[in-house]
Structure 1
Amino acid sequence: MKLTKNTNSNVVSLSAAKTTSKRRSRLLNGTMALAIAGAMVAPLTLVPASAQAEPVRVKAPAMPNFVGLVDAVRPTVVSVRVRSEVKEDDRMSGIPPMFRDMPEDHPLQKFFREFGIPHGESQQKKAPRKRFDQSQGSGFFISDDGFVVTNEHVVNGGTEFTIVTSEGDELEATLVGSDKRSDLALLKVEGKEKFQYVAFAEEAPLVGEWVVAVGNPFGLGGTVTSGIVSARGRDIGAGIYDDFLQIDASVNRGNSGGPAFNVKGEVVGVNSAIVSPSGGNVGIAFAIPAQTAKKIISDLKEDGSVTRGWLGVQIQPVTKDIAESLGLDSENGTLVAEVQGDTPAKAAGFQAGDIILKVNDEEVNGPRELAKVIAGYSPNTEVEITYWRNGDIDTTTVKLGAIPEEKNQASATKSKDANTALVDSLGIELATAEQAGADVEGVVVTQVDPDGPAADKGITPGSVITEVAGIKVVTPTDVAEQVEKAREQGRKAVLLRVTRGDNTLFVAIPLENGDN
């Protein structure tokens, strides 16, 4: 029985093996038959792997851990408290005139006394109490002897400054200097011990790199957020130093002046502004790059102020339309819209319409580049400027001046009853300066067709056209003639020199009937 059982068992296994073998043979034969049948219909084409399109794949980095970084840099970041005195005019500005001279027995006297608001006869008898406002921002130590970087708009108007460390210690600070154009300021605190500090990064971060922001949002000191560099070179209309890093680390009110760190613990930017309809974080924040901050802070530390070279020109980009209207092959350089009087540029012989190409062999493609390069030199420095004029390229030496204080811009006016002449191809109505009642040289724009080409280029009522295609104009007829001449020459656009208040710029307006 035992032998038979073993034999039967082997037989069963063997039979199963044979059955499986037969099935495999039939399957193989069938597969071969299908393959042959398929070959009879169409040949099989093999595509090399190298010829196949493959999607881009990047090995995912490990999730970052910022614990070590935060522990190292947190003691270097501080809160900045700024106390400013409220001026008498500011205290009275919110009071209607009818309440400013109330008698002593007026029912509202008690209300005004409780809030310390000056009023009535009592104001004449005694000096008002001083009142103060307090604001907060962020900052960080850049040296062991107590220098602290923050924003200019944080300390602006302040009379007393207090630094609050990560451990809660309050230290009195003095303002070394501030610079409104770059929105940077430098404070100094005194201490018995040396302070922990951080350094500015030598290299600019790349888009996509991690950043960590530490600061004092809404008064919550020591807050840490993280994100990435979203973009570089952002222009937010803040001035000549419009070259911001855009980051998506959460930044709110009170973060101003605080640092944005890279993963090495180096400061890559000084948090300065946010974009937000509500005033809170929406993932768009701007930081002053370390490369800009280093030079400004160095100047402030040295003498408390920043001195910049000055050329004395109003400038604008060379757009495609402007390049075409001037017959240029490229959009390189920076266009001089106006040469201001009694300036280094005027002394050097620059003219409106010149295109500055290089400063000391450094290309300056656009107003921002030119402004930064010129501002980077000290006053009285001599620089070589290469420029284009009327088809020729020349070089001249200019001794830079000191950049003056900013002036308020005046606005142009127009006369509603002006006798206008319509320039159809531009979509504007014009009048002479006399007709418009304006004390200016040129032709005044009195109306603009909102659907016309001039409106698309930003021409507004009150603008003054002083030149068309390089020719001075004083009447609407002059403008029309030069526009027609540009069309006859086959120009795709006509170049206008336009004054708006104290600003002058060139505007290239497309011609509807220009050659394509």
Structure 2
Amino acid sequence: MRVAKLLIPTLALLAACSDPASKSQAQANLPAPTPKTVPSSAAAMKNSFAPVVKKAAPAVVYVSSKRVVRQRVDPFWDLFLGGGVPRERVAQSLGSGAIVRADGVIITNNHNIEGADEIMVQLSDRREFPAKVLVADPRSDLAVLKIDVGAEKLPVLAIDDQEPLEVGDLVLAIGNPFGVGLTVTNGIVSATARSNTGITDYGFFIQTDAAINPGNSGGPLVDMDGDLVGVNTAILSRSGTSSGVGFAIPAVTAKQVLAAALGGGHEVVRPWLGAKTTAVTSDIARSLGLAAPRGAVVTDVWPGGPAQRAGLEQGDVILSIAGQATNDDGAVTYQFGAQRTGATVPLTFLRDGKERTVQVRADAPANSPAAEERAISEVNPLQGATVANLSPAVADRLGVDPFGGRGVIVTKVDGGGAAQRVGLRPGDIVRAVNGREIRSMGDLMSALSQKVRVWQVTIERNGQRITAQFRA
């Protein structure tokens, strides 16, 4: 809630482009300048963001993590023997976070702690505590941590996900840039609902010109009431430092991830529309008879999914979900995914030139076919990988497109196995092994049971396929 907003004086510079006579006439009509005066009270001299900072800063923490990285450093052995003796180094990460529950629950960025062997949290009074991960959500790039402070009650930042942010609203970014200590920068909301930014596949970011730098990640973006309205997560920069284009994850997403953590879950389950969409371009708009590009056109519908049950078809143009405009596929995914699972959500779409509104049930992604998840331990190119049948539920967890047909997907890659050495990643889809098409876990297990000297494996990644050969 914004109770009071600070007014920032603005100096407007007017340049007259007319002739001297008209300039004189214009100047004659200008009101007399307001005389400058000395502030009349101590309160007038102290107008600043300080009250907001005093409220929010005690709940801001520093998050540091360490992980052991194994790397090969001998190019001679890499060249002739396919790999040298691995050496270990400790990789460190430093970011920020916010206390959101008094018993030590903290929200931060997932990339601050991803793969960490040790996580430490430093409070504003410089005390340090080891932290454990309650939920890590790579799709939103958020993580929820917990530190043990006994019966002590810590200062808390309230999450404001009710009042909509508007372009021009004043905000503060608070965090620990470059590890220098508590730092506050101010700016405005430059834009809202930024999707398809390349940061994550699931995002609807707040854009701000408040300076955000390395180390600010995971720190709060607060409004003039000192409430958390976003979690600072990324910058758009050619230099690696702030260029006035920063992105924050909205409070509604932070609250969704927090609810999953406090509910005892180990992952965030979001509603899934079951429709593949793409932004309406100028050409598509003309073909549909639209006066201007708007909405997202449905290109595919999952059989039996929420969209099909509500009556959506290929060619329909989704205009809004729960009253929020949807102008690209990222907006559709986010707006529907932000709803409460099990809720009934109004969706407005365009068909044959007429707008229609239907009620769509916000169901979780279908877990069909069953995942049958399995870790591969046998000696083959997939050794060390965990694989599962591709389903909407698995695809949603990994942020991949489930509309690519049946197949087997890599869900995890452990260090030290052949899968890591050949470069497999979570989200890769195994399409063929030794020329045999892979459509299920049964197909894959049968193909991997062969005794061969040379393996030929076809992998699909981000819509592109590559086939490679490996010796047994």
Shift of 1:367: 3.0
- The TM-score normalised by the length of structure 2 is 0.61
Deviations 1:77-113 (A, max 9, x none): 1110112232x4xx12x432536889xxxxxxxxxxx
CA contact (8 A) 1:307 1:378 kept: no
The aligned counterpart of 1:280 is 241
Match of 2:67 in 1: 84
Q: Note the C-alpha offset of 1:242.
A: 3.4
Q: C-alpha distance in 2, partners of 1:248/1:392?
A: 40
Give the AA of the match of 1:406: G
DSSP-derived class of the 1:153 partner: helix
Contact 2:212-2:235 at 8 Å conserved across structures: yes
- Equivalent residue number for residue 154 of structure 2: 195
Distance 1:62 1:275, change over 3 A: farther
Pick from 53, 62, 75: which aligns with 1:96?
75
Moved more, 352-361 or 180-189: 352-361
Q: CA deviation at 1:200?
A: 1.8
Q: After superposition, what is the alpha-carbon deviation per residue over 1:8-56, rounded to whole angstroms, capped at 9, x for unaligned?
A: xxxxxxxxxxxxxxxxxxxxxxxxxxxxxxxxxxxxxxxxx9xx899xx
Find the partner of 1:168 among 109, 116, 126.
126
Alpha-carbon offset, residue 363 of structure 1: 6.1
Which of 351, 375, 379 is 2:337 aligned to? 375
Say yes or no: does 1:297 pair with 2:255.
no
Q: Are the equivalent residues in 2 in contact too, given 1:78–1:221 (CA < 8 A)?
A: no
Q: Against the structure 1 CA distance between its residues 97 and 337, is the aligned structure 2 distance closer, same or farther, given a 3 Å change threshold?
A: farther
1:376 Cα shift? 2.9
User: What does residue range 55-454 of structure 1 map to in structure 2 within 5 Å?
Assistant: 64-86=47-69, 88=70, 91-92=71-72, 94-96=73-75, 98=77, 119=85, 131-192=89-150, 193-201=152-160, 202-235=162-195, 236-239=197-200, 241-302=202-263, 303-328=265-290, 331-340=293-302, 343-345=305-307, 350-357=312-319, 364-377=326-339, 387-389=349-351, 400-402=363-365, 403=393, 404=396, 405-407=398-400
Q: Give 1:344 shift.
A: 4.9
> How far apart, in 2, do the equivalents of 1:151 and 1:74 lie?
18
Q: Counterparts of 1:468-507 in structure 2 under 5 Å?
A: 501=463
> What amino acid sits opposite 2:301 in the alignment?
V
Question: Which residue of 2 is the match for residue 25 of structure 1?
Answer: none
Q: How many residues are paired up?
A: 338
CA 1:344–1:244 in 2, change beyond 3 Å: closer, same or farther?
Answer: closer
Change (3 A) 1:270 1:64: farther
Distance 2:401 2:327 in 1: 27
Choose 1 or 2 for highest CA Rg.
1
Counterpart of 2:244, as a letter, is G
1:232-254 C-alpha deviation (Å, 9 max, x unpaired)? 33332334653322222221101
Structure 1 segments unaligned to the other structure (5+ residues): 1-48, 103-116, 120-127, 412-438, 440-499, 504-516
Q: Which amino acid aligns with 1:220?
A: V
Residue identity over aligned pairs, in percent, reads: 37
Aligned counterparts of 1:382 and 1:409: Cα–Cα separation in 2: 23
Tell me the CA shift for residue 186 of structure 1: 0.6
Structure 2 match to 1:12: none
Matching residue's letter, 1:306: V
Change (3 A) 1:134 1:409: farther
Please report the TM-score for the alignment, with normalisation by the length of structure 1: 0.56
Aligned partners of 1:204 and 1:290 also within 8 Å: no
Verify the 8 A CA contact 1:186 1:301 in the aligned structure 2.
Answer: no
1:450: which partner in 2? none
CA 1:231–1:137 in structure 2 vs 1: closer, same or farther (change >3 Å)?
same
Distance 1:266 1:407, change over 3 A: closer
